[in-house]
Structure formats: C-alpha cells, structure tokens
Amino acid sequence: MSRQRAKLVVGNWKMHGRIDENAALLTEVAAGASALQKDVRVGVCVPCPYLAQSQALLSGSVVKWGVQDVSAHAGGAYTGEVAAEMAVDFGVTYAIVGHSERRAYHRESPELVGAKTQRAIEAGLVPIVCVGETLEERESGATEQVIGTQLDAVLMLLTEEQAAGIVVAYEPVWAIGTGKTAQPEQAQAVHAFLRRKLQEKGATVANALLLYGGSVKPDNARELFAQGDIDGGLIGGASLKSKDFLAICQAAQTALQ
Ligand code: PGA
C-alpha cells in the first residue's frame, strides 16, 4: 500500500507563552497557515492554561491545537495532572506523550508512556509519541534498541486500528534545543527503522506519520522533510516565532512538490 502524501508540522511551545504574546503568535500562525496546501497539516501544542485561548483564536482556522502531556488516568485524586478528557473539552486534537523532557525530568517509563498513549486515544486525541536516544546511547550503538523499546511499549498496548492513528516523533535527545540537528540521512535511517517496526504491527500502521524533532529551523527543514520517511516535524524553539514556524510549514509544502 502506498503511503499517504501528507506532511504534519507541530509546534511544541514547552513552558513558554504569555497571554498577550500568544494572541499575536496564534493569529499570525492561523493567517499564514491558511495559504498552505491542505496536505500540509499544522498544529501547536500549548501549555494547558492557554487551551481556551487557543480554541478561541484557532477555531475555524486550519491550525489544530494540542497538549504536551496527558495523565495516564481518566480522573481522580491525582493532584496537578490533566486528563485527556479535559483537553477534549477545549477542542484539542493532539497530545504529545513521552517527550524526552518528561522521560528525563519526571522519570516517565516506557510503560507509563504507553498507558498515556492509550488514554489519549480512548479520549479521542491523536497522540504524538516521542522517542529518542541520548548521545551516550547513540555513541554506544544502542539507538535502535532504545527507541525500539520505547516504541514497543506503546504498540503492545494498542490494537492495529489504534496504532494506525498515532503519530511518532523521533527526537534525538542530543539534538533538542542544542542547535545540533541530526544529518538528514542520519534521521532518515532511524525513521526507516521506525517504519519497519510500525509495519510489523500491521500494514495500515506503516502509514502512520513519522515526525523528526530536534533543532529544526527554517534553513534545515527542507532537506529533512525531503527524506522518504520523514513526514514532518515537531518544532520547539522555532515554533515560538510565527515567521520561523511558518517558514518551516512552507518547507514541508515544498518537500511535497
Ligand atoms: P527544539 O525542540 O526544536 O527546540 O530542539 C524540539 C522538541 O523538544 O520538541
């Protein structure tokens, strides 16, 4: 089965934003994205306090909004956590799960990330499952083993139909926020490995969108997105400036042509 020809570019604002500056950023992104072809999809994952603002400013635009994490629980005595169903109340489409900052700073295990993915799907969200290796793991030749374990812990909990609807983001930890991007061929090699793993889960699962993340900028996006198994990007720092983020979306469109 041939793969869908679509690209997806999602901003990950992390813990950035203030109500006034968000308004300008969201409005500019919505306006710029309206000029893109419809096979270039755009999303922004904002801090939860700004979901209502995102919903107000992005409803009716082509830009979808999302959260950066969800609880593994549906509800209850879990102080500080946000349930996937709560995000749904604000019209959310995407939920990042297993970002390396959560795996590292909040000790999220592959199993917990799997449970969060399952919750997000059950609530009707599209999970963006992040996987990635540290520099030490790469240098010791463990990249495939590490990201394979991370992906397996998610896939084993999902039906084939559920797995076909996820997005996977390969984000080498050494490339996040460091200005060091993986070489396009280096990223492609890992994406091809991830694609094979998805294929093992089922023919339809192999069509899942595979994003690259880690210091994607307007000047390197095009070459990355031109790789056969790179279906777009998860963008941190550069998603905070509308001009840069839209230039990256434009690079996704160019890569499709
Ligand atoms: P970066 O972050 O683009 O700032 O490297 C990417 C991410 O962490 O999702």
152 contacts 114 by C-beta, under 8 angstroms: no
The CA 238 to ligand 1 mean position distance, Å, reads 8
Residue 136, in any domain of the structure? yes
Q: What integer pLDDT is reported at residue 181 of this predicted model?
A: 86
**Summary mean pLDDT of the chain:** 96
Residue 1, in any domain of the structure? no
Residue 2, in any domain of the structure? no
* 128 alpha-carbon distance from chain centroid: 4
- In this predicted structure, the answer to whether residue 191 has a pLDDT above a threshold of 80 is yes
Q: Supply the DSSP symbol for 235.
A: E
Residue 246, in any domain of the structure? yes
116 contacts 86 by C-beta, under 8 angstroms: no
Ligand 1 binding site (Cβ under 6 Å of any ligand atom): 12, 171, 176-177, 213-216, 234-238
The CA 5 to ligand 1 mean position distance, Å, reads 24
Q: Which domain holds residue 41?
A: 7-256
Residue with tokens 């096979």: 39
144: which residues sit within 8 A by CB, 6+ positions away?
A: 190, 193
Q: What is the CATH number of the domain that holds 97?
A: 3.20.20.70
Residue 191, in any domain of the structure? yes
Number of domains the chain is built from: 1
Q: What integer pLDDT is reported at residue 195 of this predicted model?
A: 98
- In this predicted structure, the answer to whether residue 3 has a pLDDT above a threshold of 70 is no
Residue 114, in any domain of the structure? yes
Q: What integer pLDDT is reported at residue 1 of this predicted model?
A: 44
pLDDT digits (tens, 9 = 90+) for 121-131: 999 999 999 99
pLDDT digits (tens, 9 = 90+) for 11-38: 999 999 999 999 999 999 999 999 999 9
